[in-house]
Structure 1
C-alpha cells in the first residue's frame, strides 16, 4: 500500500500544480459557470481529461514527449495564442454589442468558433456576456448534447497548450524510479485526475455562486475584464516568438 500511496500523492501534487494557476482556461470556466453550472461541469471535466491524457502520455513516454515537443514548442504556442486571441475578440465584440442578459452558451460559442478552425469543434449560440447563472435549470448548453459539445470544445482548447505536456514529461522523467510498475503509474495518474477535476469543479462552484449573486451589469464587466485577461494571456503565450 505504501508503494502506491507515494505515487498517488505525487500525482495529486502534480495535478494541482498544473491546474491551480489561473490562466485563460480558468477565466473561461468561471464565466461558463456563471451561465450554467451543468455545462460548466462538463467543461471542467474536459480540462481535467486533457491533464490526465498528457500525464498518461508522459508517464509512458516522458523522455520521447519532451524531445519531440520541444523543437516545435514555439510554433504550437503561436497557434494557441491565435486561438486565444480569436476567443477574446469574439467575446469583447459580443460584450460591446449586447450589454443586456444574453442566452446561454456565450463563451462556448466563442471557444467553439476559435477551436473549430483547427480542431473541428462546432460553435453554437452567440458571443454575448452572461445572463443569470446557476444550477442549469434554465437548460443552458442544450442538455446532454450541449454538454458533450462543451466537453469536446474544452478538450480541444486545453490540448493546444504544450506546456502541460512538457510539465508532465519533466515530472515523470524525474520520478522514473517511483513509476516503474503499472500499479504505481496508475496510482500517479489517479492522483493527477482527481486533483485536477476537484480544482476545476471548485472553480465551477465559485462561478455558479457568482452568477447568482452578482448583478447583471457587473457580470458584463467581468466578461470584458475576463476576455481582456484572455487576450493578455495570449500575448504571454506567444512570446518569445519563434
Structure 2
C-alpha cells in the first residue's frame, strides 16, 4: 500500500509541476481576486488529475488479464509514451522561453465555484494527463497491485496535484513573480521532464 501511495504521489507531482497557462491562471486568480478563488481553481485541476488517474488505474485493473500476454510490448510502448511526454514538455517550454511568449488565460473568474468549474473543464480537455496516467498503469506489471492499492494510487495522485496547485494559489503574487516568468516555467518544465524520464526508467527496470 505504501509503495502504491508513493507511486501516486510521484506521478501526481510529475504531471502537476509544469507551470503553463493553468498554473499562471491559479497564481493570477489568487493574487488579483482572492485566495479562495485561486484555491478553488487549484482543486479543479487536482480533481481532473485524480479523476484521470482513477480511470487509468481502474481500467488497468479490469484489463489486466487481457493485456497479460502482451505485457512486455505494452511496457515498452508505455516507456515510449512517457519519454515522448517528457520531450514534448521540454521542447514546448524551450520554444516559449526562446520566443518569450506567454499564454495566460485572458478571462478572469470571480467566484470559487466558477473558478473550480472552469479550470476543471480546461484541464479535462487536455488529453496529455490521461495518456500520462494510462502509460504509467500499463507500464506496471499486471496484477502487481490490488484494487485498494490502485485506488490508493489514484487518491495519492490527487493529493499530490492538489498540494502543488494549492501551493501555487497560496503563494499568489510572491510565487507568481518567480514561477510564471519565462525562466521559471522553463525550469519547472525541465524538472517535470526529469521526473517523467525517471518513471520511464523505473518502468523498464521493474
**TM-score higher than 0.5 here?**
yes
Gaps of 5+ in 2: 67-73, 75-80, 82-102, 186-206
Deviations 1:148-191 (A, max 9, x none): 12111010011111000100000011124465421111211121
How far apart in 2 are the matches of 1:53 and 1:89? 24
Q: Which residue of 1 aligns with 2:156?
A: 191
- Greater Cα radius of gyration, structure 1 or 2: 1
Change in Cα spacing, 1:182 to 1:107, as seen in structure 2 (3 Å) is: same
Q: Which residue of 2 aligns with 1:24?
A: 21
1:52 counterpart (39, 50, 69): 50
How far apart in 1 are the matches of 2:55 and 2:144? 13
Change in Cα spacing, 1:179 to 1:8, as seen in structure 2 (3 Å) is: farther
Taking structure 1 as the reference length, what is the TM-score of the superposition? Answer: 0.52
By how many angstroms is 1:107 displaced?
2.0
The answer to whether the 8 Å contact 2:35/2:169 transfers is yes
Mapping of residues 67-106 of structure 1, within 5 Å: 91=106
How far apart in 1 are the matches of 2:14 and 2:105? 30
How far apart in 2 are the matches of 1:206 and 1:179? 39
More helix by share: 2
How far apart in 2 are the matches of 1:52 and 1:192? 6
Q: Which residue of 2 aligns with 1:126?
A: none
How far apart in 2 are the matches of 1:158 and 1:40? 15
Q: Which residue of 1 aligns with 2:11?
A: 14
Q: Which residue of 2 aligns with 1:219?
A: none
How far apart in 2 are the matches of 1:27 and 1:191? 24
Mapping of residues 1-242 of structure 1, within 5 Å: 4-35=1-32, 36-62=34-60, 91=106, 107-108=108-109, 141=110, 146-177=111-142, 180-209=145-174
Give the ranges of 4+ consecutive aligned residues of structure 1 lying more than 3 Å apart after TM superposition: 176-180, 208-211
Q: Which residue of 1 aligns with 2:189?
A: none
How far apart in 1 are the matches of 2:123 and 2:14? 15
The answer to whether the 8 Å contact 1:16/1:196 transfers is yes
Taking structure 2 as the reference length, what is the TM-score of the superposition? Answer: 0.61
Number of equivalent positions: 145
